[in-house]
Homo-oligomer: A and B are copies of this chain.
Amino acid sequence: MRAPTYDILGIGNAIVDVVAPVDEAFLSRHAMHKGAMALIDAGTADRLYAAMPPASETSGGSAANTCAVAAMLGARVAYIGKVADDQLGQVFRHDIAAVGVHFPSLALQGGAPTARCLIMVTPDGQRTMNTYLGACVTLGTADIDAELVGDAAVTYLEGYLFDPPEAQAAFRAAADAAHQAGRKVALSLSDSFCVHRHRAAFRDLVDGHIDILFANEAEITALYETNSFAEAAAWARRDVGLAALTRSEAGSLIVAGGETVEVAAVAAPVIDTTGAGDAYAAGFLAGLTAGKPFVECGRLGSVAAAAVIGHYGARPQADLRRLAGL
C-alpha cells in the first residue's frame, strides 16, 4: 500500500457561523435547547437572524473546523463539503484554503445559498446552534471522490452528515472507499440530539464499520442509552478499535482494546465553547497520523480545544503550533 498524500480527509456540512452573544432569556424566548444543534428552514433562519443581536461571521462546520485546526497543527488535510457560489461560500472557501486545506469540492450553482449556523453564546460560554443547511442538502455520493478518499490515512466524518437526506449515502460511500483502500474511518457523534435522531444508524456504524470514534459524555451516553459514562465507555471499547471520549474541563478518556489513557484538559478562560470538540478531534488525529502515542494525541486535542474556547468563533486565532510546543 503506498503512503497516503493526506493525513486526514474531512467530510461534512460546509457552514458559515453567525455568532452572537445572548442572555439566557433569549434561549427561552425562542424555545431553544441550550447546548444543542437544531435544524431550521430558510424562513425560520431569516426570522431568528432578525431577532439576533449584532453578530460576526466566521467559517464553521464541524468536520471543516477539525480540518482547519489539524492543518494549523501541521497535518496534511483535505475536505469535501458543499457551499454555494455566493459571498458566504467564498468566505468559507477562503478560510479553509488559507490554512492549507485542499478543498476541491465545486460550488453549487443557482440553488440554495451557503449554509449558515446561527450560534447563540450565553454568558457561561455555552453555545446553542440553529442550522439552515442550504447548499449542504445537495451533498451526495457524486461528491465523494473515491481516489481522494483512498489517498488519505483517515477519513473523518461528522455525525451531522446524517441530517441532510443525500449525505448518509455519501457517508457510507466514503467509508467503504476508505476501507477498500486499506485506510481508517473516524466518526464524530457531533451532538446528543443528532444521536437521538439517528441512533440506530450510528449504532450500526459504530459496531464494526468505524475505526475511530469521537464523542463527548452526552453523546456517548445517548448512543448507548445509559446514564453511566463508565458503562458507555465500556460499550465503546467493545465496539470500536479506538474511542476518544471528551468530558469538557474533566479532560478526555481514550479507550483502545485493553489500553486506557486519561488526559487532562488544558485550563483556559471560557468565552465561547463553539468548536471545542472539533478542535479536540483535530489535535488527536494530527497526533495519531503523525505516529504519536495516545497520551500525546490527547494532549494535542486538549491544547487545540483550549485555543478555541477563549474567543468567539470555532477556529484558533493564535499560533497553534507554538501553543502545542511543536
Contacts and interface: CB of A to CB of B under 8 A. Distances in A.
Name the prevailing secondary structure of the A interface residues.
mixed
Given A87-B88, A87-B113, A311-B311, A95 B59 contact: no
Contacts of A53: 98-99
Contacts of A58: 56-57
A52 interface: yes
A209 interface: no
A98 B21 CA distance: 12
Contacts of A52: 94, 98
Contact size range, A:
20 to 34
Interface core residue of A52, A54, A87 (most chain B CB under 10 Å): A54
Contacts of A55: 91, 94-95, 98
B312 A54 contact: no
Contacts of A56: 56-58, 313
A317 interface: yes
Interface core residue of A86, A91, A113 (most chain B CB under 10 Å): A91
Given A317-B21, A317-B312, A54 B87 contact: no
Interface in A209-266: none
A297 interface: no
A58 to B, nearest CB: 4
A298 to B, nearest CB: 25
A279 to B, nearest CB: 14
A54 B59 contact: yes
A31 interface: no
Interface core residue of A57, A59, A99 (most chain B CB under 10 Å): A57
Interface of A: 21, 49-50, 52-59, 68, 86-88, 91, 94-96, 98-99, 113, 311-313, 315, 317
